[in-house]
A and B are shown apart, each in its own frame.
Chain A
Amino acid sequence: MDQRSHLHYLDVQPFLQQVCDGMAVGELLCGDHFSLQDAMIAIEIGDPKMDVGLRRGDPRSADELIAAGLAPVDLSLEAQLAVVDRLMSMEATWHSGVMLSQTVFTSLYLLDTAR
């Protein structure tokens, strides 16, 4: 039995848009118990620094990116040198306190060395 069959989703975008069109700059619409503390810890949807669910950059996986040709195998010497030097810089950045997954392992060549 599909447990989600009782759920119905409504698109409230038009409703929200109508309400926003009727509001002036500086107006706040909130519930009775909305406090200053709530205002301080509230996140702004769509703000890249606060919204953890916001899609950033390319959502494709490593395999998809490789399949799309973002990591060509036939590289000139200059391109190979650029990759090697960039990897070295990434490695040093890891040593200084940034995560491996955001530095060295952003290299598609490193993620699939068998190619």
Chain B
Amino acid sequence: MLHGACLGVRSTCTLLHEAVMGGQVVDDEDMLMHIFGFRLDIPGAKAVKAAQEALQKGIDAATEKGKEGAALLSRLKFRLCLLQILQHMHPATETSISAAANLCDSACSLLETFSSSVLPEEKLAAAPGFAPEVHRKAMGMAPPRTINIFPFDKTVEHWKITLKALGESCRWLVKCTCWRELRDQLIIFSAAPKNMPLVRSLIHRAIVSPLRAAAPVPNTSTAATVAVPGAAPKWAPSQAMIAAEFGWPCDPAPGEEAAMFLEQCAIAVQGWCHTMCLNRCRQRRRLRRLLEDWRNMTDHAFNAEASEEVQQWFNKHGWTWRPNDDEGYPLAGPVTAWVESISSWTMAAHLSLGIQLDLYAPHEFCAVYWYCDYLLGSGQAAMAEMESMRPQSAKAAAAMGGVRKGGKGKPVKKPAPVVQEGGLEERLAANSMVVKADRMMCQALMRVGLGLVWLGLVMPPPAPFNSERERFQQRFKVFDQLVRPAPLTYDDFQRSTAPGDITPPRVLLAAYEAFASAQSTIATLESTPMVRALTAQQAQHIAGVKRIAMQNLMALKLLISSISGPAAVKKPPFAVGWDFKIALQHSTTLFFPALVLKSVKKKS
């Protein structure tokens, strides 16, 4: 039985090592993959098969005499299940990933049977055959550090969390059929509170490896990665997935420029998927680097829209888009709008991750939320623009249905399809309400930040070497490379936040009104049928936003009453704090703080 267990562990490590190297989303701070030259296992599936046979032999020979026998049996079964999961994860097909999800549930059930070890920790620590320094010579001239081996109950907990997350991820992956679904799920996946390098590697490999497998043989006429119909699963971010966003055929695309756009966009989207599978710190940096790709995509989109073939295609299929204005200048179309919406999201995500990673000082919140508000608005406007250009005829035909002749020559009206198009509209409307609430929160927090600085409750630290303009540019300079959405400058910020005749009580009152507006938007959303179109993550986010808005309203009421009215003071006797706990528990992309006021006793 020990032989089977050892082969099982060795094969599991081999498969996980391959998965992590193939997934390409894990870095040294996540997991160390260096093996100092010794071979994990004989490459290929033979070793895994041998391990599975040995495990099965051990299971068949096992007796359940005593606690130890039963415990060993459950461990062997768990190891066999684990090997099956890893085999099903690659190569990834819809069937294999669904099977992997079910096997994860089975593995979790097996883990329940040995949630605590039969043996005490002291006996485990004294288990025979372990030599901690046996590879010291192979490891080179590196000072050793103390290794703390997981206790057994923590080990079981670790596997439960990992397998549960993997099973859930496999389930949503199989359900993704279009770009929006893949994007929404990856956004939630990327915000997982625990850093799970194994799950991230397995999922990323499952997303992109089918595309590598479907890539054409070199030395063919085209170098583009054309997804052969039926070869890649529905969730794979292929050219076909991008083309479906505009209703284009993929092979061949409508024109050379469209083909170039699809080819480059598939690379950019695959890069985006890769970024979403990195750890949070690397994600932020990578999102910044991705902006260059999306900058180029704006150019490709523009070129595609300027081509005659694409214009004719859009015209023929009922898209309402004028390629040129009255003076003959080109106007942005649906493709550019689509690229702009992704660019806006990427920029907002990059900014927002800085909040989660605690990179901003409180006096910077005003500028950060001001920019976030702009990006949310740009992204929403771009998507609305694209949807408005979409052909209405397809929606109308689906709603009314066709007419066919029934018995005795009488025409029979075909029943209208159930809710398909209505579902999309409902989802878009619900998304729009969520974005509106988020924008209200951004505007409110911008005003709060401004008011607190004017009142002297939040003081920027002394910065003798950089002016405020330079610090603003350092923070937002990375956005200057983009054309759409147009980058904002320090002068824009100054204009938006210049006090003029506005007093601190007035700006705090405006913040109060914005928080109240966010609350009422959420209340409206929750009272309409649109609320059922929200994803679970969106519902959780607006629940958090509601709580934060309520807390901030109360804090602002206290603040405003202290600086207005007969007993007004110039500087309120409060120390200001920012609490992100609720936001971090509820949200995945945008994080809004709750304002915390602590009374400051006057020195006598």
Residue ranges of A at the interface with B (Cβ–Cβ < 8 Å): 48-53, 56-62, 65, 70-72, 75-111, 113
Contacts and interface: CB of A to CB of B under 8 A. Distances in A.
B511 interface: no
Interface in B133-153: 133-139, 141-144, 147-152
9 A-B pairs with the lowest CB-CB distances in the bound complex, closest first: A57-B133, A82-B127, A71-B129, A77-B68, A101-B135, A86-B127, A92-B155, A52-B141, A108-B129
A35 B517 CA distance: 65
B32 A99 contact: yes
A65 B135 CA distance: 12
B108 to A, nearest CB: 15
Contacts of A94: 13, 31
A85 B2 CA distance: 11
B132 interface: yes
Given A83-B2, A101-B36, 11 more contacts: A48-B144, A61-B134, A62-B134, A78-B119, A78-B123, A79-B127, A82-B119, A84-B72, A87-B9, A95-B31, A106-B132
A87 B6 contact: yes
Say whether chain A's binding surface is mostly helix, strand, loop, or mixed: helix
A89 to B, nearest CB: 5
Nearest to B125: A86
B39 to A, nearest CB: 11
Of B2, B30, B69, most buried by chain A (CB within 10 Å of CB) is B2
Of B124, B131, B136, B138, most buried by chain A (CB within 10 Å of CB) is B131
A99 B34 contact: yes
B149 A88 contact: no
Interface of B: 1-3, 5-7, 9-10, 12-13, 17, 29-32, 34-36, 38, 40, 66, 68-69, 71-72, 75, 117-119, 123-139, 141-144, 147-152, 154-155, 158-159, 162, 197-198
B149 A90 contact: yes
B117 to A, nearest CB: 5
A101 B6 contact: no
Contacts of B124: 82, 85-86, 89
Contact of B131 (A62, A75, A86): A62
B2 A65 contact: no
A19 B139 CA distance: 36
Nearest to A48: B144
A80 B72 contact: yes
A91 B79 CA distance: 12
A102 B132 contact: yes
B155 A75 contact: no
A56 to B, nearest CB: 6
Given A80-B72, A109-B129, A95 B34 contact: no
Nearest to A110: B6
Contacts of A62: 131, 134
B152 A98 contact: no
Nearest to B7: A113
Contact of B138 (A52, A81, A101, A108): A101
Nearest to A86: B127
A112 to B, nearest CB: 9
